[in-house]
Amino acid sequence: MKCINKLLSCILIASLSISLGGCGKEQEDVTSYKLYDTSFEYGLTQNGASSDVELFAKNLCVANSDDLGTSAVDSQVASGAGAFNVTEQSTVYAQSIHEKLYPASTTKILTAYIACMNGNLDEYYTVSANAVKQASDSSVINLREGDVVSLRDLLYGLMLRSGNDAAIAIAEGISGDVETFANLMNETAKSLGATNSHFITPNGLHDENHYTTVYDMYLILNAAIENPDFYSIFTATSYTANYTSGGKSKTVDWTTTNQYQSGKIKKPAGFTILGGKTGTTGAAGYCLVLLSENEEHDKIISIVFNADCRGNLYLLMNEILSNYCV
């Protein structure tokens, strides 16, 4: 039923004109679009009836292609950004949120979510030569071929230290190989309504065919934070991993790359930063997907993609939170 609901939402979102700031509430005139007849034609329902179908989109912040609020912030420093009040179910800031952009390591949000949904966090994986074959300037947790590491430790290394080697080890452990895992990434994204995305790698290293949108990333994180294991990992600021390397026990400490949580960047007044994932490549620029809470205890998902420098990434994020998410 969840899959049916989510696929129905994609049809609904693509076919109806929905104003910014809406929350999937019932529209005044949708009778001309026979949603359930159409869903029957696509094989999504048994008989086209609506009695047992709860639309996935009704619990989401939905938005059309119009920008919202960009005149009040220094928006030209990034290619896309958005802020979504998860509690109020409203889109409060939008800048090119449906434009296809490169996500860099924010891709790892989807990788971690899939691993939490499909894997056993206490299972141990043996790291392959392929996983450790990373460029010299790649972000890694310094895994070695033959290391034996739990999925839990790999996930913390993935999300806190943005380990590209950890991403490959996770993909191979879950699906056997990267290509099969990428197929699972794309299937999962579409099931969440993220239909403007296409993923090639579990780590987000640049590929022209690896892209998403601000809105799709909101959909992915919005689903992911409902998983308790993912939420614990995503909101962590540090972690101590213990695994076997070279036949010996190894202990390493990891801390987050999110500069709000590390204290390097001052957060806006009135906000609690719960978690976040950074990402940076030459093509993607500086990216941040953030989960925070305002003084009203509303949960906020805010996203900046392709900022021109790290300072402007956090500057724009601060402006969005301060102006639109209080």
Helix (H, G, I), strand (E, B) or coil at 27: coil
Neighbours of 130 (CB within 10 A): 15
The residues facing 46 across adjacent strands are none
Of the candidates 218, 222, 318, 213, the residue with the CA atom closest to the CA atom of residue 269: 318
What is the rounded CA–CA span in Å between residue 295 and residue 300? 11
| The two structure tokens encoding residue 165 | 């080697």
On whether the CB atoms of residues 171 and 77 are closer than 8 A, the answer is no
Greatest extent of the chain over all pairs of C-alpha atoms, in Å: 67
Give catalytic residues, as residue numbers. Answer: 105, 108, 162
Q: Tell me if 34 is assigned to a ligand binding site.
A: no
On whether the CB atoms of residues 100 and 213 are closer than 8 A, the answer is yes
What is the rounded CA–CA span in Å between residue 323 and residue 326? 7
Evaluated on CA atoms 190, 195, 199, 205, the torsion sign reads negative
The residues facing 302 across adjacent strands are 83, 290
Q: Which amino acid is at 251?
A: T
**Which residues are annotated binding-site positions for substrate?**
277
